[in-house]
Each structure stands twice: as structure tokens, then as C-alpha cells.
Amino acid sequence: MAKERMDFIDKGNKTTLFVSRLVSYIFLIFVTILSLFSFYLLIINSTRSNAQLQAGFEVLPKEHFFDNLVTAWNDTSIFFLPQGMLNSFIVAAATCILTTYFSAMTAYGVCVYDFKGRNFVHKFIILIMMIPTQVGALGFVKLVNELGLANTYWPLIIPAIAAPSTYFYMKQYIDSTLPLEIVEAARVDGSNEFRTYNFICVPILKPALAVQMIFAFVASWNNFFTPALILDKKELYTLPIMLSIVRSRINSQAGDMGEVYMIILLAIIPVVVVYLFLSKFIIGGVTLGSVKG
């Protein structure tokens, strides 16, 4: 009787485990399909003409993909679409590299060095993180004009060196994963501070750096507000500005929804490539970075 009862309980546990796994898999498949549906819809809409898009929703692709591509590629009202993609890539690449490197260096300094006012510095940076970008927009534009940096990419790149949100994430990660004994041992061996940071600490921080590079690249790539304030020349336009110009024509007869969806599709491709290139670091980076808060 006891053995039969144990077998019954064991069988019941296996059944419960199987059902829970099945429900989990079904839920994950549903969420995955729901997440990818918008991308699927984007691809479908990029193959449809303006008239077909105005007719309503369709599930299957049409034959106007290359027509929309040629229209978007040769639209002179936004200067030249490939130039806009190159402009956005230059700004986004420079921004993500500077943001992650120097914000991580700041977090490293706050964590490793014991100096007077360290807690104040940390709290001050966190306070800055809570201030919206729009609050200082007027003063920022005035400063850019006074320095003669309007219609250049420097106002988009240089301020990215100071990124409070990236600093906060990197500090959490360093607190939880970087043993201070390694830094002390490097000092004993005669390594200078920059060499210790670049060749000993940066490899350890690589997962978190990769995650923050993805976030910084996407944020800069999608940034419309700041470039629209300081860029007036068409040849300097970034992709979000070009997209806004094309979308503004939708309510007129000159608007083409097929071109809009094509530009959105082309704008997503570099982001996906960067994500796929660095995605292997995301799980480890986010998990370890959130261990200690």
C-alpha cells in the first residue's frame, strides 16, 4: 500500500510538472508571437502601395516592396536616405562608445576610490538622472549657437559622455561583480590606474558594457528631439528627422504610406544587427547587474 501510494504521488507530481511546463511554453509562444507580430505587420505593409494601405489590413505581402524601396531611396525632399542612415549611424556609434566607456569609468572611480564626498557625487548624479531633457533644451540650444556648433554633430555626441542612467547601471554591476582585491593586486604589481581599468576591469565589465552599448545605440538612433533643434541642413539630417518629414505629408496628396513603412523597416535593420551582434551578453549582463541594488 505504501509503495502504491508513493507511486501514485510520484505520478501526480510528474503530471503536475508536465502541465505547468506545457502552460509555460504555451504562454511564452503566445508572447513571442505577440511581440513579433508588429514586425511582421511592418514587413507586410512595406510591400503594399499607398492605395492598398488605405484600403485596410491584409495578412499576405504584396508586390510593391521594390517600388517603395526605390521611392524612399530617391526621395529628394529628405536629401538622400542612405546619407541619413549614415549620419544616424555615425552619431549613434560614437554616442554608445563614449557613453559606455566614460560612464563605466565614472562608476569605477566612485566604487573603487574612497574619497571625501563620494556619497554626495553618487546622489548628485542620480538627481541629474531625474531631470527631463526638455527642461534644459532652450539653454542647450543657446549654448550651441554661441559656441558655433549648430549644424554639427558635436552637440549630439559630446554630451553623451555624461550619462547618469548608464553610470547608475554600471555602478550596480561593479558593486556586485568586481572584487576590489583585483584592483589592489594590480596596484601592488605596479599597474597604473588607467591600465588597471582598461586591461583588467573592462574585460570583467564586458557583459554590462555590451548591454549599455545596445541601449545607448538604440536611444541615439531613435533620437529626434535634440537633432531637430540643432540641425537645419538637409545633408546633416538623421533618420528620425527624415522620417518625420515623410510622415508629415501623409495627410496631403503627396503622402505615401508605403514609403513611410519602408523607411521604418530600413531604420530598424541596423538596430537589429547591433542587437544580434551583442545579444549574447544581455542575459548575463542584466542578471548580474541587478543582483545587488
pLDDT tens-digit profile, the chain (293 residues): 555 555 555 665 667 777 888 888 999 999 999 988 988 999 999 999 888 888 888 888 888 899 999 988 888 888 888 999 999 999 999 999 999 999 999 999 998 888 888 889 888 988 888 888 788 888 889 999 999 999 999 999 998 888 899 999 999 888 888 888 888 888 888 888 889 998 888 888 888 898 899 999 999 999 999 999 999 888 999 999 999 988 888 776 667 888 899 999 999 999 988 888 887 776 655 544 444 44
Count H helices and E strands in the chain, helices first: 16, 0
Q: Note whether 61 and 178 are same-domain residues.
A: no
Distances (CA, A) of 198 to 41, 211, 254: 44, 18, 53
Q: Which residues contact 86 (CB under 8 A, 6 or more apart)?
A: none
Q: Note whether 124 and 225 are same-domain residues.
A: yes
- Of 48, 66, 84, which residue sits at a domain end? 66
Nearest to 211 by CA among 104, 94, 87: 104
- Of 66, 92, 114, which residue sits at a domain end? 66
Half-sphere exposure of 55 (CA within 13 A, CB side): 9
Q: Note whether 17 and 113 are same-domain residues.
A: no
Q: Is the C-alpha dihedral spanning 90, 93, 98, 103 positive or negative?
A: positive
Looking at residue 28, its pLDDT comes to: 92
Q: Note whether 57 and 180 are same-domain residues.
A: no
Q: Is the C-alpha dihedral spanning 141, 143, 149, 153 positive or negative?
A: negative
Residues spanned by the domain of 167: 68-289
Q: Note whether 124 and 192 are same-domain residues.
A: yes
Count how many domains the chain has: 2
- Of 36, 66, 96, which residue sits at a domain end? 66
Q: Note whether 58 and 86 are same-domain residues.
A: no
As a whole number of angstroms, the distance between CA 217 and CA 94 comes to: 9
Instruction: Provide the CATH number for the domain around residue 237.
Output: 1.10.3720.10
Nearest to 84 by CA among 249, 263, 251, 208: 263
Looking at residue 289, its pLDDT comes to: 45
Category of 135 on φ-ψ map: left (φ > 0), alpha (ψ -120 to 50) or beta: alpha
Q: Note whether 182 and 216 are same-domain residues.
A: yes
Q: Note whether 94 and 116 are same-domain residues.
A: yes
Q: Note whether 221 and 101 are same-domain residues.
A: yes
Q: Note whether 51 and 81 are same-domain residues.
A: no
Model pTM score: 0.84
Q: Note whether 84 and 175 are same-domain residues.
A: yes
Q: Note whether 154 and 211 are same-domain residues.
A: yes
Cell for 127?
Answer: 538627481
